[in-house]
Amino acid sequence: MVATLCSEIEPKNGEIIFEENSSGDELYVVASGAVDILVSPALIQPTSTGQPTGPLAIATVRRGQTFGEVALVDQGLRSAAARCVAKKTHLLIIPSKRLIKLCDTYPELGYCLMRNIAADLAFKIRGTDLAIREQLLWRPRLR
CB 53 within 8 A of CB 42: yes
pTM (two decimals): 0.82
Q: In what order do the strands lie in the sheet with 56-62?
A: 16-18, 81-84, 34-39, 56-62
75 pLDDT more than 70: yes
- Over residues 89-141, the pLDDT tens digits come to 999 999 999 999 999 999 999 999 999 989 988 998 898 888 888 878 876 66
Length of the chain, in residues: 143
The CA-CA-CA angle for residues 128, 132, 135, to 5°, reads 140
45 pLDDT more than 90: no
For residue 85, what is the DSSP state?
Answer: -
In the Cβ-directed half-sphere of 138, how many Cα atoms lie within 13 Å? Answer: 6
Among the residue ranges 2-6, 14-18, 40-44, 117-121, the one predicted with the least confidence is: 40-44
* Burial (0-12, 13-18, 19+ Cβ within 10 Å), 90: middle
Residues 67, 49: Cα–Cα separation, whole Å: 32
Q: Which domains does the chain have, with CATH numbers?
A: 3-138 (2.60.120.10)
- 3-class state of residue 101 by DSSP: helix
